[in-house]
Every structure is written in structure tokens, then in C-alpha cells.
Amino acid sequence: MTVFFSYFIVFAAALALVSAATIKVPYTDSSISYTGSGWMHDIFELRPGIDPETGGGALDSTCTLGDNSTTTPAFGNAFRFSFRGASVSLVLETRADHGLYNISLDGNVEQHSGYTEAPHCGAVWTSPALDGTQEHDLIVTFVAKAPESPWDNNYLQLFAIQYDDGPGLAASQSTSTSPSKTPGTSLSDHNGDGESRRTPVGAIVGGVIGGMVLLVALALLAVFFMRRRQSQARKRNSLHVEPVKSSELSQNESMIVARPYDPNQHASPPSQRTRSEKERLAIEQAAASRAHHSHHRNDSSSAAPLTEPDVERIAQRLATLVSPQPPKYEA
């Protein structure tokens, strides 16, 4: 589990780095503070008879026709945004009646023109790479009429500010202590008198989802290993043979008892007697016969006594009679 927990920490850290997101802050957000009077609500549109018939439109996906915005015609008006991140962009409108504005990022000032012949909106300016661990201050000030503009009145028009919250860093924004209210809009309703902080929702959501996915993967892996271990244990138990106890072996051996031969139980006769046994039986039978004849001779003196050749001949005859004959099979 220690190894899995270490992997979880490493994975969560890597996920936090990957989860850095670009955050879009609309012009109505309270983290953007406005100074000066004359801020008005406006939308991005193509005006027939005023704008060129060809050209114009959104520069990128940060802006589309009909998007809401705020605009000011008064020189010296400005808006301010503080953040912690790796880069920042301004989503503005450029048009033939848009003038010059200064961009101050951490005290470094650049001047840009909002003039274009055809109307456009989009991320018209993006900062260079920034230190994501530091908080940065962005101030945009409307300063003058564009020299190319044929219109007497020029404007500065803001849709949104977007920034990269940096690798695993929480972005924060501070507001000005002197916000201004834009007539006809609810800008002042979103402005705060103190400092406000903005949480990177993308990073939080990504971290939570990644952590949940990792926990589910670890749970499935643990279940897999548990089932695998149980399966191996069952296999080992099925292959295990218990040894026979000596007492059981003695008991089984005692059940084996020698039994005498039973001719009715066995189909085949016992082994034939040896020749010496046959001869012994023949001699015994011959002796019995000789005793009988001797007794008979005593009764009748006319009977002749048995000689040794007679006994031998009788023994051979008896041996022939006693020895079993091979069975005959019918064809």
C-alpha cells in the first residue's frame, strides 16, 4: 500500500501540472476594476452602411457576433486586473472608430491601436511568458484618437480578459478600491471594495476527476490481486495429498487375512503335486495293497508273494491313475 500511495502522490502532482487551464474572465467580473466615467454596455455587431461590406468578424473563438462588452469614449478611462499566472490576453474589439490605448504589465508600458478598417473582435493582444509563481498587475488606459480613424469619436471596447493560471498554481485577482459604475450596465454590482481571489476551476475539477479515476483503478487492481491469490490457494489445496497415518496403515494391513483354498471359489485347480509326492502316495498305496495280499496269503496259502518288480509296477500304475489328465476340447 505504501508503493500505491507513493504512486498516487506522484500522479496527483503530475495531474495538477497538466490541469493548468486558460481562464476567461468576462468584463462583468468583479476582479476587473474600472476607473473614470462613461463606461457603457455594447455588443459586437456589423453595422450596415458604416462598416465595410466585406471583411470583419471574429478573429478567434474568444469572441463571436452578439457578444456583450463594455466601451468608453473618454480618454483617461482605464481598467485594471491582477492575477497570478503564466500569460494574459485582452479580448477587445478593433474598428475604424477605435483609438489608442496603453497596456501596462507590471509597470512595463506599451501603446497599441484599436483601429482596423473592418470590425473585428478577439484576443488582440497576448503577453509574453510570465513567471507563474508571481502575481502580476495589468492596467489598460484609453489615451487618444487613432490617427487613421475618420471618426471624431473613438472608443476602447473590452469583452474579456483571459489568462493561463500556470502549472498547478492558484490564480488570484485583486480589485481596485475605487471602482466606477458604468451607466446602463451592472458593472458596479460585480466590483468589490476589497481584495478578491479567483479559484482555477479547471485545475480543481481536473484534480478531483483524476484522483477519483486513480482510486477506482487502485481498487480494481486490489480486487484483481485478491482474486488471483484466492485462486492460487484453491489450486494448492486441490493438489495437496494428506499422508496416511501409521495407525490407519496397520489397521488396513490387519484386514488382509490369509484364507485357505476353496475349490468352489476358484475356477482353476491348485498347482499340481510334485512327482515325489505322487510316488510317495503310490508307494503308500502299494504297501497297503501288499499288506492286504499278505493277509490274504495267510488265509490262502495258494497266493504267491509280491516281488520288488511287482511293487514298482504297481506304483507306476497308480501314479498314472493319480496324475490328472489334460482336458479335451471339442472342435
Q: To the nearest whole number, what is the mean pLDDT of the chain? A: 75
Q: What is the band of 109 on the pLDDT scale with cuts at 50, 70, 90?
A: very high
Yes or no: say if 25 and 172 are a contact pair by the CB < 8 Å rule.
no
* Measured distance CA(205)–CA(20) in Å, rounded: 11
Neighbours of 264 (CB within 10 A): 5
Residue 72 lies in a domain: yes
pLDDT at 47: 87
Asked if 148 and 209 sit in the same domain, the reply is no
Q: Are residues 185 and 315 in the same domain?
A: no
Domain end call among 199, 231, 261 = 199
Tell me the three cell numbers of residue 130: 510570465
Domain finish residue from 150, 170, 199: 199
Do the domain assignments include residue 263?
no
Residue 179, domain member (yes or no): yes
Residues 12 and 53 in one domain: no
Clarify whether residues 164 and 300 are in a common domain: no
Least confident of 21-30, 64-73, 227-236, 260-269: 260-269
C-alpha to C-alpha distance for 47 and 151, rounded to whole angstroms: 15
pTM for the whole structure: 0.50
Among residues 252, 234, 254, 235, which one has the least CA distance to residue 244? 252
Whether residue 63 is found in the same domain as residue 148: yes
Q: Which three cell numbers stand for residue 318?
A: 497308480
Give a yes or no: residue 229 inside a domain: no
DSSP states of 87-100 as a string? EEEEEEEE-TTB-E
Q: Both 109 and 191 in a single domain?
A: yes
Same domain, 118 and 12: no
- In the prediction, which pLDDT does 5 show? 47
C-alpha cell at 57: 468578424
For residue 103, list its beta bridge partners.
Answer: 110, 140
Residues 64 and 109 in one domain: yes
Q: Does 282 lie in the same domain as 162? A: no
Decide if 269 is inside a domain: no
Output the pLDDT for position 135: 94
Domain shared by 191 and 62, yes or no:
yes
Mention every residue, 6+ apart, whose C-beta is less than 8 A from residue 14: none
pLDDT higher than threshold 80 for residue 248:
no
What is the rounded CA–CA span in Å between residue 239 and residue 236?
5
* Owning domain of residue 40: 22-199
Q: Dig out the grid coordinates for 329 from the structure.
A: 476340447
Note whether residue 148 is domain-resident.
Answer: yes
Strand partners, 158: 70, 92
Q: Which residue has the higher pLDDT, 18 or 237?
A: 237
Q: Specify the higher pLDDT residue, 210 or 87.
A: 87
Amino acid letter, residue 107: G
**Co-location of 42 and 114 in the same domain:** yes
Judge whether 121 lies within some domain. Answer: yes
Strand pairing report for 57-58 and 120-126: parallel
Residue 99 lies in a domain: yes
How many domains does the structure of the chain reveal? 3
**11 plus 64 within the same structural domain:** no
CATH (domain of 132): 2.60.120.260
The helix (run of H) or strand (run of E) holding residue 196 is strand 195-196
Helix (H) or strand (E) holding 79: strand 78-84
